[in-house]
Amino acid sequence: MTLVLTACPPGLRGDLTKWLMEISPGVFVGRPSARIRDQLWIRTLELCGDGKAILVYSANNDQGLDFRVHNHDWTPVDADGVMLMLRPVAPPGLTP
């Protein structure tokens, strides 16, 4: 699994290092069980505050992965059974 945090409290990062390896600031990777992964996500939501979080993990589906998001501008959408991330549309006159 990969968990990416943005603008989250430092205490959350320290808490996650008990289970995952932080390979870059706010980027955590590891192979916990599904139960531990779900508990880590719940803990992340509890401690994240106004920060952002994205969790990507292996799943038994056509894509081979699934993901969860918290407080992001990009939104997961189901496109005929394939999960995609919908990017926000930039206001007219601005380039993304």
Q: What is the pLDDT of residues 2-35, one digit of tens each?
A: 999 999 998 999 999 999 999 999 999 999 999 9
Range of the domain at 46: 2-86
CA contacts within 13 A on the Cβ side of 41: 17
pTM of the model: 0.86
Contact 4, 54 (CB under 8 A): yes
pLDDT for the residue 70: 95
Band the pLDDT of 96: cuts 50, 70, 90.
low
Residue 67 covered by a domain: yes
Residue 26 belongs to some domain of the structure: yes
CATH of the domain at 34: 3.30.70.240
Number of domains in the chain: 1
pLDDT reported for residue 56: 95
What pLDDT shows up at residue 95?
A: 62
> Does some domain include residue 96?
no
Q: What is the DSSP letter of 77?
A: E
The stretch 75-79 carries a mean pLDDT of 89
In a domain, 93, yes or no: no
d(CA 51, CA 59): 25
Inside any domain, residue 94: no
- Is residue 17 one of the residues assigned to a domain? yes
- Residue among 50, 48, 44 nearest 2 (CA): 44
